[in-house]
Amino acid sequence: MNSLDHWLEHCERLHPHNIEMGLDRVRTVVERMALHFDCPVITVAGTNGKGSTCAMLEACLLQAGYRTGVYTSPHLVHFQERCRVHGETVEPAALLPHFERVEQARQGAAPEEAVSLTYFEFTTLAILSLMAASNLEVAILEVGLGGRLDAVNVIDADCAVITSIDLDHMDWLGTDRESIGREKAGIMRTGRPVIVSDPVPPQSVLDHGLEIGADVWTFGRDFNFTGDKQQWGWAGRGRRYSGLAYPALRGANQLVNASGVLAALEALRSRIPVTAQAVRNGLAMVELPGRFQIVPGQPALVLDVAHNPHAVAALTENLDAMGYYPTTHAVFGAMADKDVAPMLARVGPLVDRWYFCDLPTPRAATAEQLRSSWQTVNTGDAVKAGTYMDPLSALNAAVAAADPADRIVVFGSFFTVGGVLKNGTPRLDAPHLSS
C-alpha cells in the first residue's frame, strides 16, 4: 500500500469493533517486532488534560534541547497530527514503512499465527515503531482510553502522569470515579514515579500505587502551586519555581496540568535535567489547537474539545471569565454515548443561540438528537436552536447571525472542532466567514 489513507482504510477493515480491551494481542505483535524504547518514556493517562500535559512536557523538554517524540490521539484534521518528532508533525510517508512492519508482525509466519488488531491498536503500534526508530531522548505517550488495557500501556513508563479523572467512556471503564481511576492507575510501574495531578484523586489510584510499590507523587503533599492574577509559583520535593508566567494554554485548569508537568520533570531530573529557563520558555510558548483556543477576529471564536461534563464545566468557567458579550452562539456536536444533558445544562446559561451539528462518523449523535437533549434541559424560551449537517455549515450559520461584538463557541467532539479547522483556522470578519 502506497499511501497513508490506504493503510488507514486497511486498519478499519481488520477488526469488527472500534475497541477491544486487552493487551495480549498487542503484546504478541510487539514481541514479534522487538519494539522497545532506549530513552525515558513518560506515559500520560486521565480523563481531561492529557493533551495539554503532553504539549507542556514537550515544550519544556524541547526548550531544554532534548529530541522529543510525542504520541497523542485522536487528531483534529489529519491523522499524522498524532505523532510529533522534535516538535514537528511527522510526514505521512514516514509512517508507511512502520505500518508495513506492523502488518508483517501481525500476520506472523503462518496463517494460523495472524493476530487481529483494532484500528487504534494497529495505528498505535505503527507510531510507536516510528518513534522507537527516531533516536529520541525522551518519549511522551498519551493513553487513548483508560490505561490498564490501552495499547500504549504495552510500553513500560519510566514516569506515569495521571491527570484529572471524571466520568467518561463508562461503558468500558466503569460507572464511577473509583472504577475509572483503577483503570487509569494501570499505567503505574513498581518503583517508578507516578504523578497524580488530580487534586482530589479517587482512592483507587492511591491504593494501586501503594499496592504495587510505585513512587506516588500527590498534589498537596509532594507538590503544589500558588498564584495571583499576575504570576504563579510551584514547589516540589526538591525544587521550587517562583514568578512564573501563566502557561500559554488558556484556562484556570491549566495550572493543575502545568503543576503535574513540573512534578514529572522533577521526578526525572537525574536522567533528563531541565533548567528553570527551559521551563519558563516552554510554558510561555506551548501551543495546542482546540484547548480553549481563542481565535482573534470579529466575532470572537473559541474552540474547545470539551466533550464530557467535567471538561464542559471548565469550559464554562473559562467562558465566564472572558467578560461580557452581547450574544454567545454555540456550535456543538458529540458522540452518541456521551452524557449530553448535564453538559448542555452547565454551559446553557451562557449560550443565547445553539447550532447543533451532525458529525462524519456513525458513532455520533445526530444534530436532531442533540437538539432533543437540549430541549429537555432548556428553561429559557428566548434561546434559539437549529440543526446543521456538519460543523462548518453550523459555524457559517453562526457567523451569518452574529454581530461583530458577539462570541462563537465551537465545542464537543474532536470531530466538531476538527470540522471547522479542516480548511485552516477560520479568521472571522462578520458577517461573512473567510478562511
Q: Would the pLDDT of 171 be above 70?
A: no
Q: Residue 218 contacts by C-beta under 8 Å, 6 or more apart in sequence?
A: 196, 201, 206
Instruction: Spell 52-89 as b/e; 16+ CB within 10 A means b.
Output: bbbbbbbbbbbbbebebbbbbbeebbebbbbbbbbeee
Per-residue pLDDT for 435 more than 50?
Answer: no
Long-range Cβ pairs for the range 289-294 (8 Å, 24+)? 289/76, 289/417, 289/421, 289/425, 290/76, 290/414, 290/417, 290/418, 290/421, 291/51, 291/52, 291/249, 291/250, 291/251, 292/249, 292/250, 292/251, 292/318, 293/250, 294/250, 294/322
Mean pLDDT of 362-370: 93
Backbone angles phi, psi at 405, to 5 degrees: -85, 0
pLDDT tens readout for residues 43-96: 999 988 999 999 999 999 999 999 999 999 999 999 999 999 999 999 999 999
The residues that bridge with 159 in the sheet, in sequence order, are 42
pLDDT class for 125, splitting at 50, 70, 90?
very high
For 24-139, where are the alpha helices, taking DSSP H only? Answer: 24-33, 50-63, 92-107, 119-132
d(CA 25, CA 17): 14
Residue 166 exposed, middle or buried by CB count within 10 Å (0-12, 13-18, 19+): middle
- Residue with the three cell numbers 493487551: 23
Confidence band for 253, pLDDT divided at 50, 70 and 90 = confident
pLDDT confidence of residue 16: 61
Average pLDDT, the chain: 90
DSSP-derived 3-state class of residue 310: helix
Determine the pLDDT at residue 433. Answer: 46
Nearest to 190 by CA among 160, 162, 152, 166: 160
One-letter identity of residue 11: C
CB distance 419 to 323 below 8 Å: no
Q: How far apart are CA 105 and CA 115, in angstroms?
A: 9
Per-residue pLDDT of 2-26, as tens digits, reads 899 999 999 888 866 666 667 889 9
Q: Whole-model pTM?
A: 0.90
> pLDDT band at 109, cuts 50/70/90?
confident
CA 223/CA 290 separation, integer angstroms: 28
Q: Write down the pLDDT at residue 434.
A: 44
Pick from 366, 368, 426: nearest CA to 396: 426
% the chain with pLDDT above 90: 71
Cell matching residue 216: 506516588
How confident is the model over 393-413, as a mean pLDDT?
95
Q: Report CA-CA distances (Å) from 397 to 275, 302, 303, 362.
A: 48, 16, 16, 24
Please provide residue 63's backbone torsions phi and psi, each rounded to the nearest 5 degrees.
-65, -25
Res 148 pLDDT > 90: no
Q: Which residues contact 184 (CB under 8 A, 6 or more apart)?
A: 45, 46, 47, 143, 146, 147, 148, 162, 165, 205
- Residues 297-325 have a mean pLDDT of 92
Beta strand 293-295 pairing with 384-388: unpaired
Judged against a pLDDT cut of 60, whether residue 193 lies above it is answered with yes
- Across the strands, what pairs with 219? 223
Which pLDDT score is estimated for 350? 94
Closest CA to 234 of 202, 264, 205: 264
Amino acid 132: pLDDT: 97
Q: Which residues touch 29 (CB under 8 Å, ≥6 apart)?
A: 102, 105, 106, 115, 117, 125
The pLDDT value given to residue 169: 46
